[in-house]
């Protein structure tokens, strides 16, 4: 079975928002990648927050619904254990610095094997991530 591709906030937002500076790159990427995909509830919260303005709200709701119901996307729950591991990693890791990365997605991306997860590729179109 193919390892899932981890889809992060930047990729999803760029794909969703045609005005995003990385939209074309995300769209081109979406044409060459294939499922399965993996993300987390923490990423869904970040997407909801990013699309929370009144003018974006309906797009945000539709995006979250699509991600949660797509059979090709596994959404990993943010359990207390996963959150604690993320805080431990954040507290003890001196570098590299990822100022825009969330602790939960960082934790999953760097230590996915420990949780029985595997994602060989991470899609996020923000520079430096």
- DSSP string of 22-45, one letter each residue: THHHHHHHHTT--S-EEEEHHHHH
Residue 33 falls within a domain, yes or no? yes
The CATH number of the domain holding residue 29 is 3.40.50.1010
Contacts of 43 (CB under 8 A, 6+ apart): 7, 8, 9, 12, 102, 104, 105
Question: Does 43 map to a domain?
Answer: yes
Please indicate whether residue 98 or residue 95 has the higher confidence score (pLDDT).
95
Report which secondary-structure segment, H or E, holds 73. Answer: strand 73-76
Q: Is residue 70 part of a domain?
A: yes
Provide the whole-model pTM: 0.71
Q: Answer yes or no: is 128 within a domain.
A: no
Query: Domain for residue 88, yes or no?
Result: yes
Asked whether residue 98 is assigned to any structural domain, the reply reads yes
pLDDT at 105 over 80: no
User: Does a structural domain hold residue 14?
Assistant: yes
Give the chain's domain count: 1
The predicted structure's pLDDT at residue 119: 47
């Amino acid at each position: 079975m193919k390892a899932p591709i981890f889809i992060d906030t930047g990729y999803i937002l760029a794909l969703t928002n045609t005005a995003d500076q990385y939209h074309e790159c995300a769209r081109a990427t979406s044409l060459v990648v294939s499922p399965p995909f993996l993300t987390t509830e923490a990423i869904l919260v970040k997407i909801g927050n990013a699309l929370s303005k009144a003018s974006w709200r309906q797009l945000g709701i539709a995006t979250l619904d699509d991600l949660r119901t797509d059979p090709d996307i596994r959404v990993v729950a943010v359990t207390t254990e996963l959150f604690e591991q993320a805080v431990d990693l954040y507290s003890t890791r001196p570098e590299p610095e990822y100022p825009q990365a969330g602790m939960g997605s960082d934790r999953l991306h760097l230590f996915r094997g420990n949780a029985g997860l595997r994602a060989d590729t991470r899609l996020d179109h923000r520079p430096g991530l």
